[in-house]
Every structure is written in C-alpha cells, then in structure tokens.
Amino acid sequence: MNHRIVRREGLGGDTYLFEIEAPLAAARFRPGQFVIIRTTDKGERVPLTIAGTDPEKGTVILIVQAVGKSTKELARFKAGDALQDCIGPLGNASEVARFGRVVCIGGGTGIACVFPIIKAMADAGNDVISIIGARTSSLLFLEHEISKLSKDVYVTTDDGSKGRRGFVTDVLTDLLKQYNGKDGIHRVIAIGPPLMMKAVAEATRPYAVKTIVSLNTIMVDGTGMCGACRVYIAGEMKFACIDGPEFDAHEVNFEDLISRLTMFEEKEKAACEHCGNQPEV
C-alpha cells in the first residue's frame, strides 16, 4: 500500500512537515508512538514520532529534519508523491494522567514529538508549562499551537535570536527553584537531543521530580529485530523501540547511549555524499 503525501511544508532550515495518508496509524495513534516509513521499496526503514493525526482524513503528521541520507531523500518528496510504507503506530504510548503541574520540554525536532503529549496532558486537566528551544529562531515551530494548550510557554535559543538566550535547562532550573517547597512540579517530560535530555535529568534529579525522556533518536529498525536501540535502564538492557521509547530519565545510562550514537558517523557521512544537497523549500 502506497501512502500519499497530502501536504508538505518547509518549517525553516532543514526541517519539513509532511501530512501522509496512513488511515490505520491515524485511527490507533496515542501520544508518544511512532511510525516506520520507507520512501521506496529499496529505502531504509526510518522510525519517526507522530506529531499529530487527523483520523477523519486518515492522515498522520510527521516533522522531519533532513540530516541523514534517508531523511534527505524524504525531504525531496512533494505533495502528491507517495511513500512506499508508513507503518504503525508502534511503541508504547505516553503515560497520561492528571498529575498536577507538568513541564513539557521540546528541543529541536523534539518539539514535534512533545506536542501531542502537551495536548494530552492539557486534556487530562494538568497545568502544563511548556519549554521549547532551538539553535536559532528559524528552527522553532509549533509555538502558537503549543501556547494555546499551555498555561505558560518559554522559548530559548542558543544565539538569543528569540526568547531567552541559552538552553531549555536554564528555564527548567528556574522553574524548579520557583516551585520548590510550594505545590511543586509533579512531572517533567523532555524530548530532544540526548545531551539535552541528559541535562534535564541532572537538573531534576536533586528535586526528585519524576522525569520522562523519549529515546527515539537511537532507533533504527523500530521492531526490536536489529538490536541497535539497546539502552541500559537502571542497569538492565532494554530496547528503545519495543520497551519504550519513553523511560525514566533518572535510570537511563546516557553515557552509553551517546557513545553508541557516534559509532556510524563516518558511514552516515559517506552515505549523505551520495544523496546530494538537501532540497530547497
């Protein structure tokens, strides 16, 4: 079954939004889950977190940064083109309940991944505080949509081009101090680059605030067959794709995770050279 692209938008830099026909995934999706796409029958399997769905239209929304061979190939596709596969939803859904005050953090393309969780947490009656960050203002997206669901929204950029200059953890640290000893922060959810998620875990650890991270960046096959997404959680080996992708941040061995993410950098660089330059919007 081919999956037609009904909408493609450039979101700035090398980031693109795709709305894709995938009725089964759209009907069954829950926040935190992902799909596997292939551009062609010879294409690589690429796990991508679902940023939203339209069950009536039977479509899913994926937000993709074109940084590797397969995502650069995907970025060349236009509305009306079709993908070979868009299979899912896969993975375990986020735990959603009325916790109280919940801080949701998205860094880079993690903003797209955390967006449906923000909506679910707000719908469950939580006071949601959202923090989104990127290297520069042109790489930010979904700010307006997130602001409609959140009690407060904080924006950070590395270069200070929008919001607070610095990192999402700078805002988080201030919030932890602000609410410490009061009615508190009851849960933190962070999705983004592994170094960012590690920093979030270290920021919340002294306050014993339950912190959840999504380890979607380490997934390859997406079904537990390849073993590439092995992670150590509280000293026990897990697979991010079938046991996660979300885990307790304070139990994740981030050193091992970050080390293994660099193993194939040279091979990926060589593959990208064959893919050519990224497309223009």
Residue ranges covered by each domain of the chain: 3-90, 101-261
CATH 3.40.50.2020 fits 3-90, yes or no: no
Res. 281 pLDDT band, cuts 50 70 90: very low
Which pLDDT does position 265 carry in this prediction? 64
Please check whether the two domains, 3-90 and 101-261, share a CATH topology: no
Cα 153–Cα 156–Cα 162 angle in degrees, nearest 5: 95
Give the residue-averaged pLDDT of 167-184: 90
Q: How confident is the model at residue 68 (pLDDT cuts 50, 70, 90)?
A: confident
Average pLDDT (26-40) is 93
pLDDT of 264: 62
Predicted confidence (pLDDT) per residue in 84-111, tens digit? 999 999 999 999 999 999 999 999 999 9
Token digits for 196? 């960012």
Q: How far apart are CA 160 and CA 137, in angstroms?
A: 8
Confidence band (pLDDT; 50, 70, 90) for 43? confident
- pTM for this model (two decimals): 0.90
Locus of tokens 């959840």: 212
| 104 strand-pairing partners | 130, 189
pLDDT at 274 > cutoff 80: no
Q: Which residue has the higher pLDDT, 108 or 12?
A: 108
Give the list of residues 6+ apart from residue 259 with CB closer than 8 angstroms, or none. none
- The whole-angstrom separation of Cα 147 and Cα 75 is 28
Res 1: pLDDT: 61
Q: Would you place residue 196 in the very low, low, confident or very high pLDDT band (cuts 50, 70, 90)?
A: very high
Which distant-in-sequence residues (6+ apart) come within 8 Å of 262 by Cβ? Answer: none
**Percent of the chain surpassing pLDDT 90:** 72
Q: Identify the residue whose tokens are 């081919």.
A: 2
Per-residue pLDDT tens over the stretch 201-234: 999 999 999 999 999 877 777 777 777 788 899 9
272 vs 48, higher pLDDT: 48
- Is the pLDDT confidence value at 280 over 50? no
Cβ atoms of 245 and 91 within 8 Å: the answer is yes
* pLDDT tens profile 99-142: 999 999 999 999 999 999 999 999 999 999 999 999 999 999 99
Quote the CA–CA distance of 235 and 187 in Å, as a whole number: 23
Q: How far apart are CA 4 and CA 150, in angstroms?
A: 33
* pLDDT at res. 279: 47
pLDDT band at 278 (very low <50, low <70, confident <90, very high): very low
**Domain 101-261, what fold?**
Rossmann fold (3.40.50)
Q: What is the pLDDT of residue 220?
A: 73
